[in-house]
Amino acid sequence: MSPRTPAPAAAGARRLTHHAGRPPRLRFGGDYNPEQWDPSVWPQDARLMREAGVDLVTVGVFSWAQLEPSPGERNFGWLDRVLDLLGEHGVDVDLATPTASPPPWLGHRFPETLPVDADGRTLTYGSRNQFCPCSPRYREAALAITTDLAERYHDHPAVVMWHVGNELGQWCHCDLAAAGFRTWLQRRHGDLDGLNAAWGTAFWSQRYDDWDEVIPPRAAPYLHNPAQSLDFRRFRSDALRDLFRAERDAIRARTDAPVTTNFMGFFHHVDYWSFAGEVDVVADDHYVDPADARSPARAALTHDLVRSLGGGEPWVLMEQAAGAVNWRPHNVPKPAGAMQLDSLRAVARGADAVCFFQWRQSRAGAERFHSAMLPHAGPDTRLHAEVRELGAALQRLGRVAGARVDARVALLHDWPSWWACEEPARPSDRLRVLDVLLSHYEPLFARGVAVDVLGPACDLDGYDLLVLPNLYLLEHDLAERLQRFVTGGGTLLVGPFSGVADADARIREGRFPALLRDLLGASGEEWVPLAAPSACTSAQFGDFHVDTWAERLRSDGAQVLAEHAAGDLAGVPAVTRRAVGSGSAWYCSVLLPPAVLSQVLGRCLDEAGVGGALPGPPPPGVEVVRRGDVLFVLNPGEEEVHLALPGRHTDLLTGDTLDGATVLAPRRGLALVEETQ
Amino acid sequence: MSPRTPAPAAAGARRLTHHAGRPPRLRFGGDYNPEQWDPSVWPQDARLMREAGVDLVTVGVFSWAQLEPSPGERNFGWLDRVLDLLGEHGVDVDLATPTASPPPWLGHRFPETLPVDADGRTLTYGSRNQFCPCSPRYREAALAITTDLAERYHDHPAVVMWHVGNELGQWCHCDLAAAGFRTWLQRRHGDLDGLNAAWGTAFWSQRYDDWDEVIPPRAAPYLHNPAQSLDFRRFRSDALRDLFRAERDAIRARTDAPVTTNFMGFFHHVDYWSFAGEVDVVADDHYVDPADARSPARAALTHDLVRSLGGGEPWVLMEQAAGAVNWRPHNVPKPAGAMQLDSLRAVARGADAVCFFQWRQSRAGAERFHSAMLPHAGPDTRLHAEVRELGAALQRLGRVAGARVDARVALLHDWPSWWACEEPARPSDRLRVLDVLLSHYEPLFARGVAVDVLGPACDLDGYDLLVLPNLYLLEHDLAERLQRFVTGGGTLLVGPFSGVADADARIREGRFPALLRDLLGASGEEWVPLAAPSACTSAQFGDFHVDTWAERLRSDGAQVLAEHAAGDLAGVPAVTRRAVGSGSAWYCSVLLPPAVLSQVLGRCLDEAGVGGALPGPPPPGVEVVRRGDVLFVLNPGEEEVHLALPGRHTDLLTGDTLDGATVLAPRRGLALVEETQ
Amino acid sequence: MSPRTPAPAAAGARRLTHHAGRPPRLRFGGDYNPEQWDPSVWPQDARLMREAGVDLVTVGVFSWAQLEPSPGERNFGWLDRVLDLLGEHGVDVDLATPTASPPPWLGHRFPETLPVDADGRTLTYGSRNQFCPCSPRYREAALAITTDLAERYHDHPAVVMWHVGNELGQWCHCDLAAAGFRTWLQRRHGDLDGLNAAWGTAFWSQRYDDWDEVIPPRAAPYLHNPAQSLDFRRFRSDALRDLFRAERDAIRARTDAPVTTNFMGFFHHVDYWSFAGEVDVVADDHYVDPADARSPARAALTHDLVRSLGGGEPWVLMEQAAGAVNWRPHNVPKPAGAMQLDSLRAVARGADAVCFFQWRQSRAGAERFHSAMLPHAGPDTRLHAEVRELGAALQRLGRVAGARVDARVALLHDWPSWWACEEPARPSDRLRVLDVLLSHYEPLFARGVAVDVLGPACDLDGYDLLVLPNLYLLEHDLAERLQRFVTGGGTLLVGPFSGVADADARIREGRFPALLRDLLGASGEEWVPLAAPSACTSAQFGDFHVDTWAERLRSDGAQVLAEHAAGDLAGVPAVTRRAVGSGSAWYCSVLLPPAVLSQVLGRCLDEAGVGGALPGPPPPGVEVVRRGDVLFVLNPGEEEVHLALPGRHTDLLTGDTLDGATVLAPRRGLALVEETQ
């Protein structure tokens, strides 16, 4: 079983890891920015890379001003030398288009390329990302340099992958963006009547009489129209995808190497479900926060999303930090072992390449305090020693390259729903989509259950348990597929504030969740943000309190598994379950405390007949996931754990044989293959 | 006894509640925005309104873009049909001018109509309120549509009231506003010498040499001139009043129906004392916060203000929420009974109409999560059942329509004083005018004492106790009237930081409170924001601590009732009382803790010979107020209360007879009429 | 021993305090703004000044609009009268150029003189400081009025000092500022290659191709280039210094009287080390916060800085508050005695003049609630009585006028290092330069040890202990002088995150602190912002925990005096000491808790052979400092303290003789001279 995206990424990763005549390998490396260093440093870099096992570096992400020092000029010589040098040392290159950061001359000569924020403030150069994706002048310059790069290096032997821009996420409210927005809206809504209906402009006298009146949501006296905001978010995401496509196509016209860009997991501003089908391999940047106790689950959830975006195909961890980052207020570095553990987590969840930002730590610029594989203090450091250990470890894991993670449980996450749900002036800003998603993931993660993360258009076949922690926007097509999923024997769990609105964020009238109430056998009439914790009682799950959120619900035939016990909601159901043949449909109208939510999900897993990667529950905090025939066991905690394992295994990382039980040190992982008798 | 405003509102409410040949009635309804719905929904709305007892709806508040889809066009047909339909169903109409939210075409074609904030940022359409009140172009368009509406519907039988704009509160810092400001300043200060003297421009070299230099307080390097800010606040408030007048006059020229606009209680930006005389009936929007334990007192205080603004005449509760609102971060809905209880509170304090925003909950737009009388889930809901119960309850209370609430106690509240007191760079931003006001109201409220809220120009005759919780600006005229009030036998209590400044916010020199120190027999020399609680002692009120605020005071003959007991203020008076014939003048230089303030006010009430609506103190939390011959008893709490009542009463709400004592359930109220033996 | 600044201020103070034929005196006074008052008030002011002992007032700081009511006009008559009147009453004048606050006509007629913030927002008049220091039009107008003032009053007998502007600290991001910035950069970096190298513009494609592209750091999509920000801070500081110089030179061309401007202690925006050499006497504004328990140490540290800025010469306390200020959110006034105590602290630390903002409290304007020597309530107040007591006290202290404070311990503080260290995206924003500085000062202050504060170019000779609490930027010259200091027998203590970067904020590669690691015998490889407190152990200092900050350090030969005891840092040194002949070099890689830091500094003092002003430790909270032959003992606390003194002393303030021991009341001070036997 596997997730099926609407447009699954082609198996670009395979072209990185599998080559005729040699065993499959995982890739290892990072961003390399040679332009920041004197050329005399480059040979040392190449040698140190080889010694560390680095075989893939991303070059050129921020090189535009070096490649095109003045308008139309081309300065490729230094890049020729770098690519040749890397190739000579066996280091392959992911060659980037430099379009994320135009040179100062572009903004200076063509101010219309600069982005404008919602307050009308022009953002200038001297940082990065200072462009409007809708500016023809910017696009012209970006495509010209991209084309020339592709033309020059399409057959360079070191270049094995292409990388468009960087962390695409810009936005702009300028008049060029407004024009682009109008064109997009015309495609979506047809005519102004369609727009006015979709946006509900009869409210607050917002009816548009002429297309020229339509603008992005700019600074206004009070709340914006939420449908306008939602469409502008969709447009922005699409505009960035279009920009990616344009650069990608310029490259594809000249080479067959896979083309990608680096995603950012649950990045709010881009709908990766609409984007993932455009890349040849999904790549992601992920920065674990060592100070956050929930970061292992957050990282695992994100990796599961990223793998799912690519239809279950292997993906590239394009950026992570070797130590501390620089952009949090207080940047805690990684303790010993964490770099490898974080990397193994990604590999266990489908990554075939483990890369870092960046190879050599910058001396200057805004990211001088972002750690790198080669720190300021040089190679004779604990951090760099760990880099070398990691390189060696990855070489022992070539066996998993190309392998998939099979999941029978899926969580659903949809960007437009997230956007619409968190528009201002909602019932409660304490109900946060990602928090609700993570809280539903954690009990599965703790049990070692493999999970895919699906978009609303993904195929549901092959899953036994489907969880919708919160799906504010729900369209008919998905509602019907959910119905079929349950009648086909699946177990469905729906969380609060779901099925509220249609694709234009208009509330669906009648009892909620509008398109699911028949399936669930329960329906509500009022959302109830709580002023104080509300006592609940359940024969199944015991007594507990819920916080933040409840709903005035009634059962229309479903079994009530928990209900409010006091106050204005006394007797109102909180958790319901409706059996549908061999399937079942659960509804949870409250934000359950973690222990209760874990029980509920445990019941759902039992009903669905799904278990974890180990026969029993893993020790607390231990992560287990099976990829291909390798069982990964990770201990991200500060204490050693005792682990019981059925059968005899070989640990690929150490070569040790484990017979039945073992002790796992803090921040250490195992990559186990069962020994055949 | 009753408050007398400088320009009491005409008894417009009487024209709504009293009609020849039928008993007086209270009005019930809400905003109705039919333009948001398909015409096929309208007949259902009219039927459901009739079933719920709704007999007054406000139509057209946000209809400009529907009425004038393009510049100069008129589209009245749909409104004709709506008004006819409502009339046929016995639902009267409060017809609104749609000027609060111009159509996008106005801002698009005439950007000078758009407001500009203090930072120079233009605020655009796509929300609401996007106009500069000083824009001639906006005013021309607003008056044109208003005139045409009045012309068309002045004799429509369903239209019983007119409603100008909505919650007038806009502000703008554009050049048009600057020009208006200058004209206003010329009227106030005469010439530039007058302006320079009033603003104290000798400070910081701010002297104006030419009228063209004078601008609103826009973004500046540091603190603004406080007198400039104060005058700009006055000007803004007056500009909105002028806008109201212009629209009102266009209506008055065509009909005798009462004209109003919806106030917002203690709304900071408009001086309702200067505005109240312009409306034919005072109308107010009030949104109780169910999560705020002090909201009953806040609501009661606000209702008492609103009634007093209209000279004690009945008023219209124009908007409240049936359940949750949408604009707080966490919007707690109303528990069972709260909708009716909140409505009864308004009626008990003088409201003759109880209305909601809005009739039918919007599917789209920024207020889709604002509750309504008819929720998304439809009429078969607890909320709508409560709406119907409320409609029925109001029908049983027609007896109070037109009746007054008689108060012998008054609190004084002045907008310019509030503005000036809370200008930046004051002694402490922890001294907040409304907090001080509320803390003085609560002990009176808890005793069931009827209170009026007066402006500085109101007549003081007929009151026995006058409380000035904080009156930063004090002019000679009021000071002299306070003197006469006390020498005439009244009891006066003055709170801290009062009498500080003149009408131009210039500090009055000498010991403070400058114009009252002789009357009070006490005076101060230094304001003392406290770094830590200060111990006080009092033979009358026991030992206590005060927080936040104190003053270096001395008695100039007044009796010292409490004084500081330690620290740098040891021995300094905190509460003084000077007997003046049969009257007395109290000064309280500290923010007393609630229990002590309650004792002080209790002593003042005793001196003034004023009691509550019941012979003894009501049970904690219970509100009692007498309006006409009806005694309202409300229990907003979560627990039932036992109530002793002298004599036999009939509860108008249930028809029950109560003999001596009764039990009042949580969130329930009584409307009692004493049975004549 | 004494600090030697790069450009020590001339002994301008001596010209104020020493006059032939009379004993030296301390000066006493404040800002006087007669233009805010009717001329009839002036004679009363002059009389009250004389009665209070005031003999120096600053006049004209905000008089531009009075002196030049319209462009080019001159209105000096009122100032003539004021200066004559003051002179007649024996009150000398510090005459200010009025350039801090241009009249409204300047900004109105010449909008290019107005400052623009980083968001592109123009800041307008109606406040103060509304000018761009780079505007030629502003400078022309400022120099014209300055020249005319100097011309007219250069020989007025009352004028003894000149005062340029006020608290120079403006900044601007306009195009004129950009042009000035480019010129400044050309001087600093030569050509564009130099700029690109210094700023590391290879990072993020920021390479400049043309000087016209270079702009201040304005609003941008993400982080700014830290070297650009650092240079812009340098430029701003220099631009203000240039502005000062221009006005000063216009005055110097006409008079020999000392010229100064009022500094603001540790003001972030101006590098006073680069500025101090330009003034004839250092003057400072200092506002103690009575609500802050650490304010005595803060004030003392600031006074020690200010004295050191002037090369140890006496300085002028130009502004302090007599009571409360107005610009904090909650402005606590001074309790009895605090005004004198705060003044004595300044005198003890080198001030020869004690002045206030301001003489008479304003009735209008943004500072109406700032206390003054003559409060609103008039002279018959406790505050004014204390002013008179202070005047009398200062007259008894003439003996210290001109005397120096000798220090053998120095702390180092550098503005560019502070700026660079606190640029965004650093390891932790919890490491704050001033906090670290103060925490190192407090143990010295508590011991009564005299301390100078040095800039990086100051001479180190004569000191025995040198403390670098945090010196992020470290250049070779200083590193070499530190080396010589230690080898010459000095004790050096270096705090965390020091020696990180070069003068262009580029990180120095290799183990840190790069230029000091050999001297310290210890080096680090990773900064470790802590997620939780880290346990440390020390044979010398006991067990303790550190918070916030640590470093992955190793000893390269130094003695390890404390080390981390657990977790990822277990065994890593935290405090090291390397003996170098009779000198020693300490490194502390953590933020020690106060008690441990005090022990460490105690050890350093012992090694350096430096003690406090008393033989033993002063009672807790008591400040002792020796200036000349006067021993100041101050008790800023709320409790009386018992004090043992060796020998017999006379208290200059009271004339009392103290023999061995005394009791010091709260907020009282002694100025003791040892009696010769």
- Three-state DSSP string of C268-311: CCCCHHHCHHHCCCCEEECCCCCCCCCHHHHHHHHHHHHHHHCC
If phi > 0 it is left, if psi is from -120 to 50 it is alpha, else beta; for residue C486 that is alpha
Residue B221 has pLDDT above 80, yes or no: yes
What does the pLDDT average to over C643-664?
A: 93
Task: Identify the helix (H) or strand (E) that includes residue A119.
Answer: none
| Option in B329, B363, B366 nearest A507 (CB) | B363
Average per-residue pLDDT in chain B? 96
Q: Which residue has the higher pLDDT, B150 or C647?
A: B150
Ordered domains of chain A (ranges, CATH): 32-54+282-311+322-404 (no CATH), 409-608 (3.40.50.880), 637-674 (no CATH)
What does the pLDDT average to over C460-481?
A: 98
| Option in C200, C228, C428 nearest A363 (CB) | C200
CA C584, distance to chain mean position in Å, is: 29
Q: Hey, is the C-beta of B135 within 8 angstroms of any chain A C-beta?
A: no
Residue pLDDT, tens place only, B161-199:
999 999 999 999 999 999 999 999 999 999 999 999 999
Cα distance between residue B409 and residue B491, in whole Å: 10
Task: Identify the helix (H) or strand (E) that includes residue B84.
Answer: helix B77-88
Half-sphere exposure of B75 (CA within 13 A, CB side): 13
% of chain C beyond a pLDDT of 70: 98
What does the pLDDT average to over C620-629?
A: 97
CA A400, distance to chain mean position in Å, is: 22
% of chain A beyond a pLDDT of 90: 96
What does the pLDDT average to over C264-278?
A: 97
What burial letters (b/e) apply to B149-167, b meaning 16+ CB within 10 Å?
Answer: bbebbbebebbbbbbbbbb
Give me the phi and psi of B412, to 5 degrees please.
-110, 130
Q: Hey, is the C-beta of B194 within 8 angstroms of any chain C C-beta?
A: no
Scan residues 90-119 of C and list those with Cβ closer than 8 Å to A.
119
Residue pLDDT, tens place only, C45-63:
999 999 999 999 999 999 9
Cα distance between residue A94 and residue A324, in whole Å: 24
Cβ atoms of C355 and C59 within 8 Å: the answer is no
If phi > 0 it is left, if psi is from -120 to 50 it is alpha, else beta; for residue C84 that is alpha
Give me the phi and psi of A129, to 5 degrees please.
65, 20
Weakest-pLDDT range from B243-247, B652-656, B657-661, C123-127: B657-661
pLDDT band at B9 (very low <50, low <70, confident <90, very high): low
The nearest CA of chain B is from the CA of C292 a distance in Å of: 9
Q: What is the CA radius of gyration of chain A?
A: 26
pLDDT band at B4 (very low <50, low <70, confident <90, very high): very low
Give me the phi and psi of C247, to 5 degrees please.
-70, -45
Predicted pLDDT of residue A646: 86
Could you tell me how many CB contacts below 8 A there are between chain A and chain C? 189
Where do runs of H (alpha helix) occur along A534-574? none
User: Which chain B residue's Cα is nearest to A551?
Assistant: B333
Tell if the CB–CB gap between C204 and A62 is shorter than 8 Å. Answer: yes
Closest CA to A335 of A284, A378, A295, A393: A295
The chains found to touch C (3+ Cβ pairs under 8 angstroms) are: A, B
What does the pLDDT average to over B553-576?
A: 98
Average per-residue pLDDT in chain A? 96
Cβ atoms of C285 and C257 within 8 Å: the answer is no
Q: How many CB atoms lie within 10 A of CB A88?
A: 12
Predicted pLDDT of residue C5: 44
Token pair 């009635």: residue: B25
User: Which chain C residue's Cα is nearest to A368?
Assistant: C507
C-alpha to C-alpha distances, C430 to C295, C302, C471, C596, nearest whole angstrom: 20, 22, 16, 20
Supply the residues of C annotated as catalytic.
167, 319
Cβ atoms of A206 and B124 within 8 Å: the answer is no
C-alpha to C-alpha distances, A489 to A134, A441, A581, A587, B185, nearest whole angstrom: 47, 22, 7, 17, 77
Closest CA to A49 of A28, A20, A33, A76: A28
DSSP letters spanning B226-292: HHHHHHHHHHHHHHHHHHHHHHHHHHHTT--S-EE-EE-SS-TTS-GGGTGGGSSS-EEE----TT-
Closest CA to A250 of A157, A141, A175, A332: A141
Q: Chain A interface, mutation test: which of C195, C205, C222, C549, most A Cβ atoms within 10 Å?
A: C205
Scan residues 330-349 of B and list those with Cβ closer than 8 Å to A.
330-333, 335-336
Predicted pLDDT of residue C676: 79
- Angle, to 10 degrees, between the axis of helix A42-52 and the axis of helix A382-395? 50
Scan residues 532-571 of B and list those with Cβ closer than 8 Å to C.
548, 552, 567-568
Q: Hey, is the C-beta of B129 within 8 angstroms of any chain A C-beta?
A: yes
The nearest CA of chain B is from the CA of C341 a distance in Å of: 15
Q: For chain C, how many helices (H) and strands (E)? A: 17, 25
Cβ atoms of B28 and B53 within 8 Å: the answer is yes
The nearest CA of chain C is from the CA of B425 a distance in Å of: 5
- Angle, to 10 degrees, between the axis of helix C338-348 and the axis of helix C295-309? 40
Q: How many CB atoms lie within 10 A of CB A200?
A: 25
pLDDT band at A660 (very low <50, low <70, confident <90, very high): confident
The nearest CA of chain B is from the CA of C124 a distance in Å of: 5
Residue A6 has pLDDT above 70, yes or no: no
User: Which chain B residue's Cα is nearest to C98?
Assistant: B205
The nearest CA of chain B is from the CA of C34 a distance in Å of: 9
What does the pLDDT average to over C474-485?
A: 98
Cα distance between residue C468 and residue C471, in whole Å: 6
| Option in A213, A217, A526 nearest B105 (CB) | A213
Residue B11 has pLDDT above 70, yes or no: no
Would you state the structure tokens that stand for residue A256, as one six-digit string? 């067959």
Which amino acid makes up residue B8?
P
Would you state the structure tokens that stand for residue B209, as one six-digit string? 């040499």
Q: Hey, is the C-beta of B227 within 8 angstroms of any chain C C-beta?
A: yes
What does the pLDDT average to over A422-426?
A: 97
Q: Chain B interface, mutation test: which of A181, A205, A525, most B Cβ atoms within 10 Å?
A: A205
Its pTM stands at 0.97
Give yes or no: A319 in active site.
Answer: yes
Give the active site residue among A68, A247, A319, A563. A319
CA C19, distance to chain mean position in Å, is: 28
Q: Environment class of residue C77 by beta-carbon count within 10 Å: exposed (0-12), middle (13-18) or buried (19+)? A: exposed
pLDDT band at C9 (very low <50, low <70, confident <90, very high): low
Half-sphere exposure of A483 (CA within 13 A, CB side): 13
Cα distance between residue A66 and residue A104, in whole Å: 11
Cα distance between residue C451 and residue C434, in whole Å: 16
| Option in B207, B214, B217 nearest C66 (CB) | B207
Average per-residue pLDDT in chain C? 96
Task: Identify the helix (H) or strand (E) that includes residue A630.
Answer: strand A630-635
Q: Hey, is the C-beta of B208 within 8 angstroms of any chain C C-beta?
A: yes
CA-based angle A174:A178:A181, to the nearest 5?
135
Q: Hey, is the C-beta of C661 within 8 angstroms of any chain A C-beta?
A: no
% of chain B beyond a pLDDT of 70: 98
Predicted pLDDT of residue B677: 61
Task: Identify the helix (H) or strand (E) that includes residue A546.
Answer: strand A544-546
What does the pLDDT average to over C320-329?
A: 98
Pairing status of strand B491-494 against strand B583-588: parallel
Q: Is A301 helix (H, G, I), strand (E, B) or coil?
A: helix
**First-to-last C-alpha distance (Å) of chain A:** 28
Q: For chain A, how many helices (H) and strands (E)? A: 17, 25
Cα distance between residue B361 and residue B562, in whole Å: 54
Residue C7 has pLDDT above 50, yes or no: no
Q: What is the CA radius of gyration of chain C?
A: 26
Length of chain A, in residues? 677
Cβ atoms of C460 and C410 within 8 Å: the answer is yes
Predicted pLDDT of residue A9: 53
Q: Is C359 helix (H, G, I), strand (E, B) or coil?
A: coil
Residue pLDDT, tens place only, A211-220:
999 999 999 9
Cβ atoms of B558 and B587 within 8 Å: the answer is yes
Predicted pLDDT of residue B646: 86
DSSP letters spanning B56-70: EEEE-TT-HHHH-SS
Residue pLDDT, tens place only, B62-74:
999 999 999 999 9
Predicted pLDDT of residue A11: 67
Predicted pLDDT of residue C10: 52
Scan residues 415-454 of B and list those with Cβ closer than 8 Å to C.
424-430
Give me the phi and psi of B65, to 5 degrees please.
-65, -25
Q: Hey, is the C-beta of A42 within 8 angstroms of any chain B C-beta?
A: no
The interface predicted TM-score (ipTM) is 0.96
Cα distance between residue B538 and residue B593, in whole Å: 13
Token pair 């150490």: residue: A654
What does the pLDDT average to over A135-158?
A: 98
Predicted pLDDT of residue B660: 85
Tell if the CB–CB gap between A205 and B102 is shorter than 8 Å. Answer: yes
Residue pLDDT, tens place only, A13-66:
889 999 989 999 999 999 999 999 999 999 999 999 999 999 999 999 999 999
C-alpha to C-alpha distances, B157 to A211, A565, B94, B264, B359, nearest whole angstrom: 39, 51, 11, 29, 21
User: Which chain C residue's Cα is nearest to B212?
Assistant: C108
Cα distance between residue B2 and residue C57, in whole Å: 56
What does the pLDDT average to over A263-267?
A: 98
Residue pLDDT, tens place only, A443-486:
999 999 999 999 999 999 999 999 999 999 999 999 999 999 99
Give yes or no: A167 in active site.
Answer: yes
Predicted pLDDT of residue C456: 97
Q: Is A392 helix (H, G, I), strand (E, B) or coil?
A: helix
Tell if the CB–CB gap between B105 and A210 is shorter than 8 Å. Answer: yes
Residue C562 has pLDDT above 60, yes or no: yes
Q: Hey, is the C-beta of A32 within 8 angstroms of any chain B C-beta?
A: no
The chains found to touch A (3+ Cβ pairs under 8 angstroms) are: B, C
Residues 6+ apart with CB under 8 A from C631: C613, C624, C625, C649, C670, C671, C672, C673, C674
Residue pLDDT, tens place only, C153-175:
999 999 999 999 999 999 999 99
Scan residues 266-285 of C and list those with Cβ closer than 8 Å to B.
none
Residue C32 has pLDDT above 80, yes or no: yes
Residue A5 has pLDDT above 70, yes or no: no
Q: Hey, is the C-beta of B636 within 8 angstroms of any chain A C-beta?
A: no
What does the pLDDT average to over B438-446?
A: 98
Predicted pLDDT of residue B12: 80
